[in-house]
Amino acid sequence: MIEKNRILLKISGEALLGDSQFGLNIKTTTYIANEIKEVYKNNYEICLIIGGGNIFRGIQGSSEGIDRSTSDYMGMLATVINALSMQSALENIDVPTRVQSAISMSQIAEPYIRRKAIRHLEKKRIVIFAAGTGNPFFSTDTAAALRASEMNCRIIVKGTKVDGIYDKDPIANKNANFYKKISYLEVLNKNLRVMDSTAISLAKESKIPIIVVNLGTKSSILNAIKGIGKFSIIS
């Protein structure tokens, strides 16, 4: 049963970079935390997944000679760093959170337990899922679609650096075509790299729409959930 006010927010690790070349930009992390708080104050139950690309990207590490499984585990550890950073930023502005990790690390995070995560959401805590699915060869996009399915979320919101889905990079191509609404199959057939194909297929199977918004636009997450402003939707 889909929970009407339960959403999953997926943020790329690169979104935490801000103006930095590498790692975490605290000012940007605080800005995103305040955007999430705005949604939280509107009575939404929020699950959160953050990528690790600002610290380490598994596929890139693999291409440079690190064993793929090892490389992916390193990427998962990077997502834990980002999760703890966002937890701190949210709790600094009085938003209760819990971090659940798919890789056991009991000193800093709870293990991922579905029923416990649902209970946290019911108690109005934001749950940050770290370490992806806990398995190599699966991206944090796939982890987002998986956790959204397990948590019975109404929608997945993907925060990016552009204001929706285009047929090519709109920053490099001024004539890029914007898609306001697009089907899961079109995304797969046109190879529009919004999320990886496994994530799109899982969202399709679970009938969870995906909204794509620009994190840099004030109130873009809340507005998109309410159907206001510029965003794209995959359904």
User: Would you say residue 107 has pLDDT above 80?
Assistant: yes
pLDDT digit string (tens) for 112-124?
A: 999 999 999 999 9
Contact 82, 131 (CB under 8 A): no
d(CA 223, CA 122): 23
Q: Is residue 117 part of a domain?
A: yes
The parent domain of residue 200 ranges over: 6-234
Q: Is residue 100 part of a domain?
A: yes
User: Would you say residue 6 has pLDDT above 90?
Assistant: yes
Q: Is residue 70 part of a domain?
A: yes
CATH code assigned at 23: 3.40.1160.10
Burial 189-201 (b: 16+ CB within 10 A, else e): eeebebbeeebbb
pLDDT at residue 1 in the model: 65
Q: Is residue 203 part of a domain?
A: yes
User: Would you say residue 82 has pLDDT above 80?
Assistant: yes
pTM (2 d.p.): 0.95
Q: Is residue 169 part of a domain?
A: yes
- Give how many domains the chain has, as a whole number: 1
Q: Is residue 217 part of a domain?
A: yes
Q: Is residue 40 part of a domain?
A: yes
> Region 169-181: what's the mean pLDDT?
90
Q: Is residue 1 part of a domain?
A: no
Contact 117, 100 (CB under 8 A): yes
